[in-house]
Structure 1
Amino acid sequence: MRYLIYFIAAIFLCSCEGPKARKPIRTSSPQLIKSTVERNKELLDIEMQIISALVKNDSINTYTASTTGSWYYYEVKNDTATYTPKVEDVVTLTYNIMTLTNDTIYSAKEIGVQDILVNKPSLFKGLRNTFTLLKENEKATFIFPSSLAFGYHGDDNKIEPNTPIKSSIEIIKIKKSN
């Protein structure tokens, strides 16, 4: 009987293990991540070649490269204004979205007049990073690679995934923050 109690106690003590961690159902392999990065680099290279050819073949407009990866030219330039939007300013603007062949995807009328707080993520990445280059009463057309536009997801409506776009942006008013 004594051996039976020792045996049961030994089994009881040996069977108490801590909780075992669950393993993930799916893991991303470094190879998958590397291949995705390579595919995105190739896509960006192709888009930049298309944009470079478009810029080169446009003899009417003078393009400027932005530091964020887009290209733009002025439609209306305001040489008397000196202030460009800063963080926490509210900018009133209009913009449209077009294909690289100037077919309208969303018109400025369709989008409407927007009041945007600078550096807040209410716009797509490229527009959020570039309208701060303009001053009041200026209008410019920007060309964005898909990575600065709506990316690999598109906009779930009219813009397909991985689509480079053009956008004409007009700054109507800049309300400076206090």
Structure 2
Amino acid sequence: MKHLLILFMALLLLGCKSPEARPPVNTKSGSFIKESVERNKKLNKVERKRIEEVISNLPNKNFTISENGFWYRYNKKVDTSAETPQFGDRIEYSYDVSNLSGQTIYSKEELGNQVYFMDKEELFSGLREGLKLMKPTEEITFIFPSQKAYGYYGDDNKIGANVPLICNVTLKTITQNND
């Protein structure tokens, strides 16, 4: 009996192999990313064409295309040497939001005055970049393609997925960060 137990233990030890890594079940080809890039290129092209149509139908067509991928026009420009907001500055501004058809999504009264610490808080990328162009008391109309606004997700309220926006922004004050 003792020999049988020793034989059983020896077979058990010899029969056990060290664990081997198994190969991955799936391999990624990158096709999803490629499809997503193509879909976004098409969306961007359609939005750009629509934005250019909207601008061509406006009475004041003096829009500039920014290097950040949005259009803007000064409604009130300050020609002084006043500074634009820098990292950490506290700014106060007001704005409204419309779709490309001109329908108001959020009014200035509904949104009220906004306080934002430059690049230290969340704000959709187009507006964050647009505010950096402004001096106190300036008013600018921005047209943001959806990828510079709320993109694929919208704002979970009134702005749906892939909606280009028109924002009329007034920068009220800049309080410099003294850090």
TM-score (norm 2): 0.88
Equivalent positions of 1:1-178 (< 5 A) are 2=3, 5-15=6-16, 17-18=18-19, 29-178=29-178
Cα distance in structure 1, aligned partners of 2:100 and 2:121: 24
Taking a change above 3 Å as real, the CA distance of residues 27 and 144 of structure 1, as seen in their structure-2 partners, is farther
* 1:26-63 CA distance string (max 9 Å, x none): 87641122111110111011101111222233342411
Aligned residues: 177
Taking a change above 3 Å as real, the CA distance of residues 17 and 35 of structure 1, as seen in their structure-2 partners, is same
Cα distance in structure 2, aligned partners of 1:134 and 1:68: 15
CA contact (8 A) 1:81 1:136 kept: no
Identity among equivalent pairs (%): 38
Taking a change above 3 Å as real, the CA distance of residues 158 and 21 of structure 1, as seen in their structure-2 partners, is farther
Amino acid of the residue matched to residue 10 of structure 2? A
Compute the displacement of 1:20 (Å). Answer: 5.7
Point out where structure 2 has 5 or more consecutive residues left out of the alignment.
none
Secondary structure at the residue paired with 2:60?
coil
